[in-house]
Structure 1
Amino acid sequence: MSTSSEPNQNIRGYEPGEIAAKGCVTVDIVIADLGVTLQALIDSQYVDSKTMSHRPGIILKYLPYLYDGITGKLLTGGLYLFDTYEDAKDYIRWASEEFEVGEPKVKFTEQPMFKSFTDQVWKTWSCSEPDAEPKLQSLYAKVKNAAETGNAASVWLLYDPSTRKVGLQLAFRKQGVAEPSAAARDLRDAGWTALGDVLSQQLHLKPLFDRTGVLLTLWLPRSRAAGGSELAIPYYPVVPDISHNYFRGSTH
């Protein structure tokens, strides 16, 4: 059975416009066993979200999915937005040191299903150069306008002060109907580098990686708190809805 017959309906608590967020967490996970099905991956993250999406300050999470056709790696993880930078840091501390899953219990980051787990905490709307604040303030306005023109549904401008990395997270609107060919077209069209070029020229950056991929689910804690849906599945029914017939041990 499905947890909901209409997984993308009744979303509450989120309005278009600026989000008062000061912290972000990005997590990259390589799945060790390519025998893990898409259904199992969606169900697994749903089980975890029942606890993780209640952490202090969390606003939303994007769950990405990317199969690397060259290396054969299955990549997933998450992009989490938080009220404060401190909440973002505490989330990683908790997820790495305290949160346990499965039977027998293991640390979340040490699951056998994970070949590798890397995380990073970011500040939003900042930069590493000496004149960081005024420069980024002007750049963010340009980034936001360019993102809207390019049909992006959201844009996050991120900075990690410990490593002096700048991050750009874009989410794009789904085009057309939810079918495999449309999903493939959306993924191709999302390979948009104009904003990255602007940032690189203005801040003298070097590109480190590109994680363009389909978003499987969106965690929506504010919607749940408002009595609405707790998550959305953008590409349903191309990707499956959550199933109750899931046991974590079956994927190990």
Structure 2
Amino acid sequence: MTMAASQIPSKAVTGYNVGEIKAKGAFSSEITFAKAGLSLSDIINSQYPQSLEMMERPGMQLKYLPTRFDEVTGKLLTGGAYLFDKWEEAVDYSHWTTNEYTIDEEGTKFWSQSAFDSPVRFAWKVIGAYNFAPIEHHAIGHFKRWSYTSNNIEAYLHEVYPQIKSIAEAQGAVAVWLLHQPEDKMIAVQLAYRKPAEGVSLNDYLVQVKQKSGFDRVLATKLTALVEFDRASILLTIWLPLSLAKGGADHTVPNYPVVPAIQTGTA
């Protein structure tokens, strides 16, 4: 009898360290699924083969897959947060997913698929990124981006990065990235947190995480920045190209068993 096999990686995660992350490029996407009624199982299984292909792109270090449901419409809200060795590799990834990568025999480009409702994505320059705890402890994501009107702000962002890092650590984050998109005049902060303590609901915890925002006084006040996007989500999976290259796990499912394991192939 043919059956789907649950996959929780048995191999250890390797290739990622606590401390400063040597990444110069990042990519983010914000996706709303057009159709309501999708389950976490649907998403975690459907994205598996595509994520394996995407991990092969030059310079990719890491991919967070954030996921939550809209409280009103029930639609699935997801996307991705990626780190790359170089800024140029993040730009190349954006070009590839937009213009080259197809998802079916008809040649539908990835971002043009009907399942997505007006996806938003950006390639970013990394001002700084830091892991306060090992990747295995990253379970919740919080992505916030601002638009700004000031000019020549990159030097200021490098100046305040240590302060951003200190705020993130004080708020209990296990990772922080400070990102800059100069062409579109955008700034972003990507944070990761541990799983909630036993007995704390994920929904309540996501509300708590989103309320942890000491960054506005550093970024918004000085730069007259306006919040454009602010979302806390569970990390459905974390994709690990550096670990895979060293013979380790290719992904983690950090909120398992609340989140189902990936179903792959047959058993």
TM-score by length of 2: 0.83
- The structural deviation recorded for 1:175 is 2.7
The percent identity for this pair of structures is 39
Determine whether 1:229 maps to 2:249: yes
2:66/2:234 contact within 8 Å kept: yes
Instruction: Determine the structure 2 residue equivalent to 1:59.
Output: 61
Q: 2:87 aligns with which of 64, 67, 85?
A: 85
Determine whether 1:212 maps to 2:232: yes
- The structural deviation recorded for 1:20 is 1.1
Instruction: Determine the structure 1 residue equivalent to 2:190.
Output: 169
What do you get for the CA RMSD once the two structures are aligned?
Answer: 2.2
Q: For 1:151 and 1:9, how far apart are their aligned partners in 2?
A: 27
Determine whether 1:196 maps to 2:216: yes
Give deviations 1:12-63, integer Å, cap 9, x for gaps.
Answer: 1001011111111111111111132211101111110111011001110111
Q: For 1:54 and 1:197, how far apart are their aligned partners in 2?
A: 39
Q: Relative to structure 1, is the Cα distance of residues 12 and 128 closer, same or farther in structure 2, using a 3 angstrom cutoff? A: farther
2:26/2:81 contact within 8 Å kept: yes
- The structural deviation recorded for 1:130 is 4.9
- Of the structure 1 ranges 87-96 and 62-71, higher mean CA displacement relative to structure 2 is found in 62-71
Q: For 1:189 and 1:12, how far apart are their aligned partners in 2?
A: 30
Instruction: Determine the structure 2 residue equivalent to 1:250.
Output: none
State the aligned residue count. Answer: 243
Instruction: Determine the structure 2 residue equivalent to 1:38.
Output: 40
Determine whether 1:160 maps to 2:181: yes
Instruction: Determine the structure 2 residue equivalent to 1:138.
Output: 159
Determine whether 1:118 maps to 2:120: yes
- Of the structure 1 ranges 99-108 and 120-129, higher mean CA displacement relative to structure 2 is found in 120-129
2:36/2:73 contact within 8 Å kept: no
Instruction: Determine the structure 2 residue equivalent to 1:249.
Output: none
2:37/2:74 contact within 8 Å kept: no
TM-score by length of 1: 0.88
Structure 1: unaligned runs, 5 residues or longer:
247-252
Q: Relative to structure 1, is the Cα distance of residues 8 and 121 closer, same or farther in structure 2, using a 3 angstrom cutoff? A: farther
Determine whether 1:148 maps to 2:176: no
Q: For 2:88 and 2:257, how far apart are their aligned partners in 1?
A: 37
- Of the structure 1 ranges 56-65 and 205-214, higher mean CA displacement relative to structure 2 is found in 205-214
1:184 alignment partner AA: N
Instruction: Determine the structure 1 residue equivalent to 2:17.
Output: 15
Q: For 2:193 and 2:5, how far apart are their aligned partners in 1?
A: 26
Q: For 2:226 and 2:117, how far apart are their aligned partners in 1?
A: 27
